[in-house]
Structures are given as structure tokens and as C-alpha cells.
């Protein structure tokens, strides 16, 4: 480099001008002054720039090393915090189970325990599945016994009896099963629940109807007033509407003073005990709004199509008298649309039972990155088994009714709404091999934001009630025990196929012509 050359030249001139006795003569002074003047005349910018570049590179290297050390420390702290949290959760769960087992032993008493020890078959039966199981207590055999209780020769002696049970995890589980397992000579056959159409027959005449309408629509307001008058005069029904709709009806005429409404959330919670039928006037959004009002059991819903696009609204408003008359007489075909039950568990929660919720969704729950520029980083578990880590724009957990909504736009499959399952659909994943999944209805899904995530995530439920998920927070989803029964115009399968044909123009193309060559 230039500075080293200059310094070596200067040192050489000084050393050669020094005599052995250590004194400088005039010639050496003149040469030294000349060398200094040459140095002063040279521009020092080049050497200074080179030094600054070297110093900048060195500082950049030091900064990278410090950044790596800080990231390693943060990762270690996050991992330690995660292990601590898991330890606390496991410890709380063990204490809960221990307390439950101790109280159960105290309630049973010594006498009951003695009886259980004397009857091992009962003990084994209760240990198998308790009250949730379906048992076959009969001895199944291929031959008859004679009067002396001896097996007839050349025939099998007996076939072992067995018991099947639904394995619900703990008393906190809200997973209810309604399938039937039948036993025929020891062979298992399942009830074909999903492949059968469901029919609803009134045991008593409906008395009360609630009408829910799409807001800010003149045509819907006119139809609602006409329908309320017809149901009151012709069918003698009690009618409930929203407070907003009742105010609109009374503004139009005092005749509608008989219409009922509610005042607060307490009365909304008790609506399912008063209402026999729900009528919606709007699109799919109105059906979602109707479902969100009922946090528990939902009365049968009759959805009329008055929106722009509807997959759950098979009835046309022009023939509402004909449809309602047939539905009130019964029987009617219905579709049981499953809902997801969601809980948010914060990182500061002391145990897994300290949650926010439950929140019921009919379409889907979406976890996305919001306005952040970073990819989402979500750890996904299915029944405590690790599934994958989602890196992308987000994740959709959808019901089969919501398979034609956001999940379909993100690349998910269209699924018949009566198929019991949960759709696991990534949103713009940062991986070419990340394909959607369809999981069974009985699983519990947990989506957690890891501690080393670059940013937080956002969860929305049927497009509303948006919640922020920070590092360590988790979202737990399972199938809710209360589906939404919607009336069918024909049956569930015909209505579903008609909706994707009319709404999506599914597989609509020109038919191939027949004017080409034919096989002889």
C-alpha cells in the first residue's frame, strides 16, 4: 500500500544520513526537509480512504459477530422459556389429574372398591370407556350348546365378545359422537351417517319464528314487512326480529306492534329456548350472522337468497309462501353444517384451561401476518402431535361448509358440507410441496406462534373478531358439538351441487363436437 512505501522511504533517508557518532550533518537535514516537503505535497486522501475502508470492514465484521451472539442468546432464552412453560403446563395437568383421582377414590369408598375387585369384568368394562362406549356383552358363537352345557362337536366353541369406545380425552372434552356401531356375529359395521340424507319432522306445530335480514337493502326491507304480515295473519305465528328491524317496521306502520325483539345479550343467549325456526333474508353473510347469534343449540334455519353469491341459500324469495308453508308442515330435508369451537390461550396463562373463548365459526378461522412484511411462523399440532411449521402468509382452518369460501380461494378442496372434517389450508406457503389437508372431525388442532417468530400474527373468526397473537400465544380449534341445521330445497347433495354449478360455474365448458373421425 502507498503509506507503507512512503514510510519506508522516509526511514531509509533518515538512517543513511545519520553518522555513527549520532550527530546529523547539514546534508542530512537538507535531505530530511526535502523528504518532509515531498510528503506534505502528496495528497493524503488516498491513504485516508484506504484506512477508513479497512476500519469499516473490521467494524462490520464485529457487528455481525455481535449480532450472531445476540441472536444465539435470544434463541437460548426463548428455548428456555418454552421448556419452562411446557414444564409448568405439565405440572399443572398432573396436579389436576392427581386431585381428580384422589377425590374419586374418596367418593367411592372401601366397600365399592371391594365390589369392583370381586368383578373383574365390570372393572375392565369401566376402564375401557366408561359411559361413552358401545358394548357387546353377549357371547357370540357359531354353535349351540346342549343340555349339559357341552359344545356340539365339529363347531367352534365361542367367539370373544368385545367393546368399542369413543376415546374422549378428559372431562373437559366437548366432542360428542352420535355414530352407531353394530355387531353382527362379531363383525363390525359402521353406521353410514355421512352418506344418508337427514330429515326433520315436527312433533308439534312451530309457534315462533325469528326473521334476520341483511341491512341497508330496500328490497329486503319490503320483503320482510310482507313476510311478517303473512306469517302473522295466515300462520298465526309469534315473530321475533332484530331491534333495528322492529324500529323500521314501526316507522312504516303501527300495525307491526305485535313483533317481538330483545334488549341485551342475556336475552339473545336464551333465544334458542323460544324460537322454533330461523328465517334469513340475505346471502351467506346473513346465515353466518344468524349462526353467530346462537352460542349453543341452533334452531333450523331457512335461508332465502337475496345476496350476490350464496352457497348456503337455496330458497328463492319469490316463492317464499310456498316454501314456508311446506317447511312448517314438514318433514323437511336438512344439512347439518358443522362449526369450529376456538379458544385463544395466552402465553401468560397459568394452565390450558385459562382461555379466551369459546368462539364459534361456521366458515373458517384465519391466522395471517396482518400488515407485517415478515412471513408468518406458526407451529401446528394435531392432538399434541407436531404437524408442520407454516411459513407464508398464513393458515386457514375451515369447516366443510366453508370449503367454498376463503379455503377454496387459497387452493383448498371443495367438500360436501355434511362430511365431518376440518380443512387445513395454507395461504401462499413459502414451499412448493405444502399441500392442503383434510383432517377428521374428532381431532384438536393447536396453532402456536413460536418465541423466535419475527412478528406476531392475527386471528379472525368468520372474517371478524380479529385477535392479536403474540409470541407464545396459541389458538386451539376443535369441532363444536352444536351444528347449524339449514333447510334444503331438495336435499343436501342436490343443493350443494346446484350451488357450485350456479355460483362457481364449476367445469362449465363447450361440449366437444361430433364432426370428427369416428371409429369403424
Query: For the segment 192-204, what is each residue's pLDDT rounded down to a tens digit?
Result: 444 467 888 888 8
Mean pLDDT of the chain: 78
Average pLDDT rounded to a whole number, residues 252-275: 90
Could you tell me the pTM of the whole model? Answer: 0.65
The span from the CA of 289 to the CA of 407, in Å, is 19
Same fold, 164-169+191-336+495-507 and 340-494: no
The span from the CA of 138 to the CA of 145, in Å, is 15
Q: Count of CB atoms within 10 A of residue 453's CB? A: 20
Name the residue with higher pLDDT: 72 or 186.
Answer: 72
The span from the CA of 434 to the CA of 278, in Å, is 40
Sign of the torsion formed by the C-alpha atoms of 62, 67, 72 and 74: positive
CATH topology of domain 340-494: Tumour Suppressor Smad4 (2.60.200)
- pLDDT at site 383: 92
- The full set of domain ranges for the chain reads 164-169+191-336+495-507, 340-494
Long-range CB contacts for residues 371-378, cutoff 8 Å, separation at least 24: 372/454, 372/455, 372/456, 374/454, 374/455, 375/430, 375/454, 376/453, 376/457, 377/449, 377/450, 377/452, 377/453, 377/454, 378/447, 378/448, 378/449, 378/450, 378/457
Residue 406, helix vs strand vs coil:
helix
User: What are the b/e assignments for 362-372, b being 16+ CB within 10 Å?
Assistant: bbbbbbbbeee
Selecting from 3.40.50.2300, 3.90.930.12, 3.30.70.1400, 3.40.50.10330, what CATH number does the domain 164-169+191-336+495-507 have?
3.40.50.10330
Q: Which among 327, 430, 447 is positioned nearest to 380, based on CA atoms? A: 447
- pLDDT at site 244: 93
User: Has 473 been annotated as catalytic?
Assistant: no
Those residues with Cβ within 8 angstroms of residue 322's Cβ, 6 or more apart along the chain or in another chain: none
Strands (E), 283-338: 301-305, 315-316, 332-337
pLDDT at 349 over 70: yes
- pLDDT at site 125: 42
- pLDDT at site 174: 45
Which residues share a beta bridge with 301? 278, 486
The span from the CA of 139 to the CA of 222, in Å, is 66
The span from the CA of 319 to the CA of 325, in Å, is 10
User: What are the b/e assignments for 329-345, b being 16+ CB within 10 Å?
Assistant: eeebbbbbbbbbbbbbb
Q: Catalytic pick from 276, 284, 368, 462?
A: 284
Amino acid at each position: 500500500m502507498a503509506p507503507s512505501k512512503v514510510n519506508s522511504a522516509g526511514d531509509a533517508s533518515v538512517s543513511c544520513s545519520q553518522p555513527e557518532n549520532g550527530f546529523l550533518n547539514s546534508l542530512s537535514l537538507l535531505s530530511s526537509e526535502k523528504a518532509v516537503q515531498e510528503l506534505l505535497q502528496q495528497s493524503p486522501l488516498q491513504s485516508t480512504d484506504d484506512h477508513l475502508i479497512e476500519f469499516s470492514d473490521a467494524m462490520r465484521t464485529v457487528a455481525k459477530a455481535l449480532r450472531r451472539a445476540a441472536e444465539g442468546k435470544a434463541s437460548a432464552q426463548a428455548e428456555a422459556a418454552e421448556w419452562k412453560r411446557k414444564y409448568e403446563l405439565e405440572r399443572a395437568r398432573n396436579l389436576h389429574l392427581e386431585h381428580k383421582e384422589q377425590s374419586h377414590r374418596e367418593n367411592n369408598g372401601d366397600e365399592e372398591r371391594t365390589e369392583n375387585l370381586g368383578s373383574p369384568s365390570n372393572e375392565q368394562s369401566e376402564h375401557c370407556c366408561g359411559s361413552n362406549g358401545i358394548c357387546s356383552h353377549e357371547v357370540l358363537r357359531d354353535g349351540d350348546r346342549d343340555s349339559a352345557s357341552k359344545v356340539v362337536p365339529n363347531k367352534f366353541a365361542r367367539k370373544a365378545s368385545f367393546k368399542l369406545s369413543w376415546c374422549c380425552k378428559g372431562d373437559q372434552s366437548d366432542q360428542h359422537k352420535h355414530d352407531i356401531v353394530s355387531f353382527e356375529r362379531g363383525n363390525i359395521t359402521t353406521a353410514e351417517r355421512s352418506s344418508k340424507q337427514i330429515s326433520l319432522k315436527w312433533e308439534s306445530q312451530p309457534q315462533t319464528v325469528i326473521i334476520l335480514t341483511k341491512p341497508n337493502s330496500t328490497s329486503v326491507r319490503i320483503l320482510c314487512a310482507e313476510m311478517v304480515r303473512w306469517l302473522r295473519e295466515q300462520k298465526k305465528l309469534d315473530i321475533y326480529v332484530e331491534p333495528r328491524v322492529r324500529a323500521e317496521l314501526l316507522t312504516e306502520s303501527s300495525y307491526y306492534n305485535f313483533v317481538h325483539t330483545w334488549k341485551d345479550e342475556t336475552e339473545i343467549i336464551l333465544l334458542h329456548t323460544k324460537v322454533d325456526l330461523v328465517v334469513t333474508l340475505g346471502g351467506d353473510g346473513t346465515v353466518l350472522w344468524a349462526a353467530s347469534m346462537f352460542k349453543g343449540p341452533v334452531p333450523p334455519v331457512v335461508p332465502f337468497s337475496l345476496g350476490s353469491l350464496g352457497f348456503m341459500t337455496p330458497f328463492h324469495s319469490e316463492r317464499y309462501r310456498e316454501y314456508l308453508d311446506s317447511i312448517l308442515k314438514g318433514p323437511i330435508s336438512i344439512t347439518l353444517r358443522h362449526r369450529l369451537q376456538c379458544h385463544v390461550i395466552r402465553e401468560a396463562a397459568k394452565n390450558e384451561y385459562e382461555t379466551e373463548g369459546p368462539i364459534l365459526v361456521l366458515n373458517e378461522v384465519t391466522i395471517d401476518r396482518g400488515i407485517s412484511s415478515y412471513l408468518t411462523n406458526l407451529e401446528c399440532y394435531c392432538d399434541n402431535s407436531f404437524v408442520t411449521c407454516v411459513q407464508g402468509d398464513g393458515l386457514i382452518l375451515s369447516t366443510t361448509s366453508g370449503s367454498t369460501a376463503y379455503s377454496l380461494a387459497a387452493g383448498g378442496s371443495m367438500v360436501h358440507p355434511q362430511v365431518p372434517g376440518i380443512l387445513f389450508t395454507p395461504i401462499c406457503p413459502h414451499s412448493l410441496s405444502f399441500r392442503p389437508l383434510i383432517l377428521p372431525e374428532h381431532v384438536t388442532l393447536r396453532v402456536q406462534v413460536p418465541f423466535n417468530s419475527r412478528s406476531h400474527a392475527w386471528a379472525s373468526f368468520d372474517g371478524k373478531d380479529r385477535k392479536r397473537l403474540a409470541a407464545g400465544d396459541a389458538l386451539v380449534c376443535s369441532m363444536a358439538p352444536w351444528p347449524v341445521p339449514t333447510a334444503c330445497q331438495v336435499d343436501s347433495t342436490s343443493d350443494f351441487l346446484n350451488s357450485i354449478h350456479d355460483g362457481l360455474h364449476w367445469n362449465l365448458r363447450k361440449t366437444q363436437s361430433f364432426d370428427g373421425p369416428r371409429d369403424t
